[in-house]
Amino acid sequence: MSVPPPPPPPSSDSERIEIFQRGDSITVSPSRIEAELTVLWRQAAARAGEGKGGVTRACLWNLVVRAAAGDEGLTAAKQIVDDLSRFVPARAIVLSMDAAPEEVLTASVEANWRGGHGHTMSGSDEVTLRASGPAVERLPSLVRALLVTDAPTAILQLGPPDGAALRRDRLVGEVERLVIDTRRLLDESALAEIDRLAAALPNLEIADLAWIGVRPLRGLVASQFDPPAADPHELTVVDRVEITSGVVGTQTRALLTLGWLGARLGWRGYRGLEAPAAGDAGTRRWVAARPDGGEVELVLRTRRGGVSHGVVAVTLQHGERRFTVERGEGLIECHSPDRPPRCQPMRRHNDADLVVRGLSARGRDPQYRDALAEAVRLLQSQPSHHA
C-alpha cells in the first residue's frame, strides 16, 4: 500500500458515494470534514436502503494516530488503521506532519467497512490530515473539533516515542490513553523520559506495545511457581535471573521484563557490574538486594541467530533449581524441577494486533509503570552511566 497524491474531487454525487462505499479516500476542505462525513454516511444509508439493507456507523474510540515522518510513515499508519478497524471501530484521525516550511494543510475522509449481519454493513470514519509549516500548529484544535463526544480518546504514537515532547504536548494530557512502542527507541536511555512522562501524568493510561508483546511470556514465568507443584515462596529467594534476547540493539522488552520481576519481588539497590570480558559482548550484569537480605544476580544476554524476539528465554534459578521459559520454533517450552516439561503453541502478532490489545482492557495495566521505573533504575546503575 502506498500513499498517492490526493485524488481530484469526484465529479458527481454518484461518483462520490461510490468512492466512499469502496473505502477509498475523498479529498475535502479541512473546515468541512464533519459536514462532508455526515452527508456521505447519509447517502450510504439511503443507497443501502434501496437494497433493503442497512448501514451502521460505529465508534468505540477516538483514535488519533501520529504517523512517523514521510510518506512511508503515513503508509504504515494507514495500514495499521485498516487492520485494526476490523476489530475496533474507531474514528481514526491520522496526522502526518512534514518539516517543509511552506504552510500546507490537506484533509481527506474515508470509511473503514466491516461485514455485518445479513444485508447490514458496519463502518467507521477515517480522517487523514497532512500539514507542514505553520499549519502544524492548527492540528491540535482541529483534532479536538473532530472528536466524537462521549467516546474515549487514545493517541497512537508511531515511530520512536519522545517522552519529553509528549510531556509538553497539551493534547496528550487531555486523552484517556496513550499507545506507544518503546521497541522503536533508538537509545535505551530514552526510557527515562517515558518514565518522567508517566510520573507527570499519573491518570494517563500508557499502553506500550513492547510490554504488551511479552505479556503471555510473563504469565508463563509466573505460572512456573503456582502451587501445588511449586512453592511460591521460592520465587522470592531466587539468586539468579537471566533474560535472553534474540534481537540486537535496543532491549526494551528484556529490560521491562527484568523491571517487572524487580518491582514484583521488591529488589532494591541495583549495582551494575563492569563490562563483560572479550567474547561475551552483548551481555550485561547487575546485582540487586532481595527483601530477605540476600542478593540476586541479573543477566541480560543477546543471542544472535535463532528466534528473533526481544525476550527469547527467561531463566530463574535458586541454587541448583532452574525454572525456564523459552521460545522455540512455533512453540514455547517450560521447564521446572517440579513438573514434566510443557509446550504450548506460540502466537504470532503484528503491530495492529498489539494496538488492538492496547485499546482493550489489557492496555490498562498499572504494573507497567512499576516495571518501567525499575528498568530505568537498572539502566542508571550501569557502569557507563557513572563514567
For the stretch 355-370, pLDDT in tens is: 999 999 989 999 999 9
For residues 241 and 290, the answer to whether their CB atoms sit within 8 Å is no
Q: Mean pLDDT, the chain, as a whole number? A: 90
pTM for this entry: 0.91
Question: Which pLDDT value is given to residue 100?
Answer: 87
Residue among 67, 40, 70 nearest 55 (CA): 40
Where do the DSSP E strands lie in 115-151?
120-132
Q: Average pLDDT in the 114-138 region? A: 86
pLDDT of 193: 97
β-sheet bridge partners, residue 333: 326, 343
Cα–Cα distance measured from residue 289 to residue 295, given in angstroms and rounded to the nearest whole number: 5
* CA 263 remoteness from chain centre: 21
User: Is pLDDT larger for residue 34 or for residue 280?
Assistant: 34
Tell me if residue 103 falls in helix, strand or coil: coil
How far apart, in Å, are the Cα atoms of 134 and each of 29, 98, 332?
17, 11, 51
User: In the chain, what is the straight-line distance between the N-terminal and C-terminal CA atoms, in Å?
Assistant: 47
Question: Which runs of consecutive H residues, i.e. helices, occur in 266-297?
Answer: none
Report DSSP letters for 64-80, one per residue.
Answer: EEEPPSHHHHHHHHHHH
**Conformation bin of residue 161: beta by default, left when phi > 0, alpha when psi is -120 to 50:** beta
Domains and CATH numbers, the chain: 13-151 (no CATH), 213-386 (3.30.360)
pLDDT digits (tens, 9 = 90+) for 226-235: 888 778 889 9
Range 103-116 average pLDDT: 90
pLDDT tens-digit readout, 77-90: 999 999 999 999 99
Question: In the structure, what pLDDT confidence band is assigned to residue 385 with cuts at 50, 70 and 90?
Answer: very low
Other beta carbons within 10 Å of 166: 24
- Per-residue pLDDT of 48-78, as tens digits, reads 776 656 889 999 999 999 999 889 999 999 9
Mean pLDDT of 253-277: 91
Give the mean model confidence (pLDDT) for residues 89-114. 94
Whether 67 and 77 have beta carbons less than 8 Å apart is answered as: yes
Q: Which span out of 45-49, 148-152, 347-351, 362-366 was modeled with the highest average pLDDT? A: 148-152
Predicted pLDDT of residue 116: 59
The pLDDT of residue 276 is above 60: no
